[in-house]
């Protein structure tokens, strides 16, 4: 398996290793031109800070029907603040990718490079960008990254009450391999299914 050591992630040499995917979607904008999707690895603190701000926006919108506002605030601060993202990248083998549509930041991906499997930690889009096939492009990027680093499996966790996402992942070939209720502190828990896909 290719080494996934990510120490020195924010040094100058890392900046030259930015991976970018640009793919036009088969959809027309109001102006009549094809929209362009870019997926770019975060290679500096500024990009992570921008991604964290987007994460807070998306989480408060997306999880409002599943979690209390206080739990969303707590989880964003604990797992998706800029400081949390920086720590994950520097010490926990994480990488983050921005997703842009015609230059505008609309979503992000978070991956953890584990020993035997790639962990799809985060894959989110702004509400207005959903339903356009962009999430499928993002998953293609995840699959490509997994193969690039020698993985033949990837896995994720999904809230047991998030029926839409569970249905989407099932349609993409993910299967349920377990479940757990995880204590995350302050009286909050994550009640999740574990899903896995073989590549």
Any bridge partners for residue 180, and if so which? 192
Name the token pair of 48: 């992570």
What is residue 160's three-state secondary structure?
coil
Whether the predicted pLDDT of 100 surpasses 70: yes
C-alpha span between 5 and 3 (Å, rounded): 6
DSSP type of residue 7: T
- Would the pLDDT of 104 be above 70? yes
Contacts of 144 (CB under 8 A, 6+ apart): 21
What is the separation, in whole angstroms, between the first and last Cα of the chain? 15
- The predicted structure's pLDDT at residue 35: 82
Beta bridge partners of 125: 107
**Domain segments of the chain as ranges:** 12-156
List the alpha helices (DSSP H) in the chain.
Answer: 12-15, 45-62, 69-75, 82-91, 134-148, 163-171
Instruction: Express each pLDDT in 2-18 by its tens digit.
Output: 434 343 334 333 333 34
CATH value of 12-156 in 3.40.50.720, 3.30.930.10, 3.40.630.30, 3.40.605.10:
3.40.630.30
Q: Work out the mean pLDDT of the chain and round it to a whole number.
A: 88
Q: Which residues have a Cβ under 8 Å from the Cβ of 139 and sit 6 or more positions away?
A: 123, 172
Tokens of 179: 């479940």
Query: Which pTM was predicted?
Result: 0.84
The burial of 15, by beta-carbon neighbours within 10 Å (0-12 exposed, 13-18 middle, 19 or more buried), is given as exposed
Span 24-68, pLDDT tens digits: 554 444 444 568 999 999 999 999 999 999 999 999 999 999 999
Predicted confidence at residue 173, as pLDDT, reads 97
d(CA 79, CA 76): 5
Output the pLDDT for position 6: 42
Task: For residue 132, name the pLDDT band (cuts at 50, 70, 90).
Answer: very high
For 14-23, 50-59, 81-90, 114-123, which range has the lowest pLDDT when averaged over its residues? 14-23
| Nearest partner of 198 among 122, 118, 136, 134, judged by Cα | 118
d(CA 197, CA 99): 22
Distance CA 181, CA 175 (A): 18
More confident: 175 or 5: 175
What pLDDT is attached to residue 7?
38
> C-alpha distances in angstroms, 181 versus 155, 185, 190, 194?
17, 12, 6, 11
């Amino acid at each position: 398996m290719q080494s996934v050591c990510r120490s020195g992630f924010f040094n100058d040499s890392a900046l030259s290793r930015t991976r970018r995917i640009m793919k036009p979607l088969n959809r027309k904008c109001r102006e009549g031109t094809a929209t362009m999707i870019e997926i770019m690895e975060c290679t500096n603190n500024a990009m992570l800070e921008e991604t964290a701000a987007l994460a807070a926006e998306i989480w408060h919108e997306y999880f409002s029907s599943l979690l209390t506002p206080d739990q969303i605030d707590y989880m964003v601060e604990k797992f998706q603040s800029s400081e949390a993202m920086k720590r994950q990248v520097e010490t926990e083998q994480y990488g983050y990718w921005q997703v842009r549509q015609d230059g505008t930041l609309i979503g992000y991906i978070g991956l953890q490079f584990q020993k035997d499997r790639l962990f799809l930690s985060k894959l989110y889009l702004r509400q207005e960008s959903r339903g356009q096939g962009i999430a499928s492009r993002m998953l293609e990027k995840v699959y490509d990254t997994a193969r690039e680093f020698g993985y033949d499996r990837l896995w994720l966790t999904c809230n047991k009450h998030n029926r839409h996402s569970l249905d989407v992942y099932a349609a993409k070939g993910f299967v349920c391999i377990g479940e757990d209720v995880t204590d995350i502190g302050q009286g909050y828990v994550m009640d999740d299914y574990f899903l896995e896909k073989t590549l």
